Amino acid sequence: MINLKVVSPQKVIFEKEVEMAVLPGAEGDFAAMPNHSPFISSLRPGQMAIMSSNKVDESFFVSGGLVMLKEKVCEVLVDQIEPLSDVNSSNYQQSKTYQELEGNETALGTFEQVVNNPPYK
Amino acid sequence: MPNLKELKNRISSVKSTRKITSAMKMVAASKLRRAQELAESSRVYADSLSFILSSLAGNTKNSADLPEILTGRENSKISLLIINSSDRGLCGGFNSNLFRNAKKWISDQQGQGKSVKIMTVGKKASSFYKKTDLDIVASFEDLNSNDRQLQVSEEIKNKIMELFENNEIDEVSILFNKFVSAISQEPTYQSLIPLSNDENSEDESESNNAIFEFEPDKNELLEYLVPRNFLTQIYRSVLESSASEHAARMTSMDNATRNAGDMIDRLTLTYNRTRQAFITKELIEIISGAEAV
């Protein structure tokens, strides 16, 4: 298990033990698992998925940020985050994340894509 | 002898003042709790970010490889000071302490042959510095909600990046009242350009041990990190300052409430004495009148 800690500039969103987390790194998706080599990367907009035994337990949209991966800890510093369980294709435009991203076409496009058809499901 | 009616009016006006100050104290106390929570919960992000930045910068042996915005320019000529004041008054020495401190800093800088520019946050600072002959590059007011605080931090960040790139400033420092405890706040400087490395000395030794891989490469990461770091530091100082403001208001309003209470006691005493004196005087008049008959 790896300790996944998700932090926004305002607060700690959550912190928990997970088997694996898939993150949208700047140069491609990667999976954070225990004993990964120390690694720092920025994030592109995309889906963050928490997985156990090859199934997605929880899924989020992140608009960008940074991730620092150490042996047993994965710290994700996100700009904006939206749990995908709260939004669907009809109401995602009302979400706070959507409004905050106003004007950022690429991020909004990815948001729409992730809501309608997440790469991990 | 004081007039009874006047005394009565005075007492009732001090009483209503006391009601106002004690209500303000209560409001400040509840706002303080919230502001403190915000300041504390934002600390996690800020700490992680500065850890990443220091491990990134520490990883680069040759400091010449780092961008100017991190290391500062040689022969810096113009420094910018961001002053975090409050929007409203009635908070004790909160603003005046800050301005006194800033004055010393400014004359220090001018003594070193640098020119100083000012950026003000909060109404008090903007009205104070309008009267001086200092160069104000921008003023921000009405930081009354958390969203607005974040928005202002973003604007300040954009402004200083722009000014730095146009060579209009060489150094940036930020001055704010650091929240030490509910009864103590201290004016604190933090240097944004060049990046100050004084805090988190423990973290640094840790970061030297772990060798991180970076993706994408360092320069691209720095390009993302540097503005993020400014934003976080500015936002943090704004939050600290707002927590300090509420704390300062709470203590000064507490004092004011207590003083009003003392004053009411004193006035009531005088009132009662005066009343008693009148009664005695009237009795004497009646008795001596009766004796004369």
Tell me the CATH architecture of domain B37-250: 3-Layer(aba) Sandwich (3.40)
Is residue B157 classed exposed, middle or buried when 0-12, 13-18 and 19+ CB atoms within 10 A define those classes?
buried
- Provide the shortest C-alpha distance from residue B217 to chain A (in Å): 9
* Interface touch A77/B212, C-beta < 8 Å: no
pLDDT in tens, B54-83: 777 776 655 566 777 777 787 888 999 999
Which residues of B lie closer than 8 Å to A, measured between beta carbons? Answer: 38, 41-42, 44-45, 48-49, 51-52, 55-56, 146, 150, 210-216, 220-221, 224-225, 228, 231-232, 235
A21 secondary structure, DSSP code: E
Tell me how far apart the alpha carbons of residues B221 and A77 are, in angstroms, rounded to a whole number: 14
A11 secondary structure, DSSP code: -
Closest CB to B210: pick one of A41, A70, A75. A70
User: Which residue is listed with tokens 């961008």?
Assistant: B67
Query: 10 Å Cβ neighbour count for B77?
Result: 12
List chain B residues with pLDDT less than 50: 199-207
- Provide the shortest C-alpha distance from residue B211 to chain A (in Å): 7
Task: Look at residue B201 in the predicted model and tell me its pLDDT.
Answer: 44
Task: Look at residue B193 in the predicted model and tell me its pLDDT.
Answer: 83
Is residue B269 classed exposed, middle or buried when 0-12, 13-18 and 19+ CB atoms within 10 A define those classes?
exposed
pLDDT in tens, A83-108: 888 888 788 888 888 888 887 888 88
Chain A residues whose CB is inside 8 A of the B150 CB are 9-10
Query: Measuring CA to CA, which residue among B55, B291, B86 is closest to residue B176?
Result: B86
Tell me how far apart the alpha carbons of residues B97 and B139 are, in angstroms, rounded to a whole number: 19
* Interface touch B221/A9, C-beta < 8 Å: no
SS (H, E, C) chain B: CCCHHHHHHHHHHHHHHHHHHHHHHHHHHHHHHHHHHHHHHHHHHHHHHHHHHHHHHHHCCCHHHCCHHHHCCCCCCEEEEEEECCCCCCCCCHHHHHHHHHHHHHHHHHHCCCEEEEEEECHHHHHHHHCCCCEEEEEECCCCCHHHHHHHHHHHHHHHHHHHHCCCCCEEEEEEEEEEECCEEEEEEEEEECCCCCCCHHHHHHHHHCCCEEECCHHHHHHHHHHHHHHHHHHHHHHHHHHHHHHHHHHHHHHHHHHHHHHHHHHHHHHHHHHHHHHHHHHHHHHHHHHHC
Which superfamily does B4-23+252-286 belong to? Answer: ATP synthase, gamma subunit, helix hairpin domain (1.10.287.80)
Domains and CATH numbers, chain A: 2-116 (2.60.15.10)
For B64, the token pair is: 């010449």
Tell me how far apart the alpha carbons of residues B49 and B234 are, in angstroms, rounded to a whole number: 13
User: Which residue is listed with tokens 């403001």?
Assistant: B245
Cβ atoms of residues A50 and A21 within 8 Å: yes
Task: Look at residue B202 in the predicted model and tell me its pLDDT.
Answer: 45
Tell me how far apart the alpha carbons of residues A113 and A85 are, in angstroms, rounded to a whole number: 15
Tell me how far apart the alpha carbons of residues A7 and B44 are, in angstroms, rounded to a whole number: 7
Q: In tens digits, what is the pLDDT along chain A, a chain of 121 residues?
A: 899 999 988 888 999 999 999 999 988 898 999 988 888 899 999 899 998 888 889 899 898 889 999 888 999 999 888 888 888 878 888 888 888 888 788 888 888 888 888 888 7
- Provide the shortest C-alpha distance from residue B225 to chain A (in Å): 9
pTM: 0.83
Query: Measuring CA to CA, which residue among B111, B11, B54, B221 is closest to residue A27?
Result: B221
Task: Look at residue B205 in the predicted model and tell me its pLDDT.
Answer: 47
* Domain chopping of chain B, boundaries: 4-23+252-286, 37-250
Mutation target to probe the B interface, by most B beta carbons within 10 A, among A15, A41, A42 is: A42
Chain B residues whose CB is inside 8 A of the A26 CB are 215-216, 220
Mutation target to probe the B interface, by most B beta carbons within 10 A, among A4, A37, A40, A69 is: A40
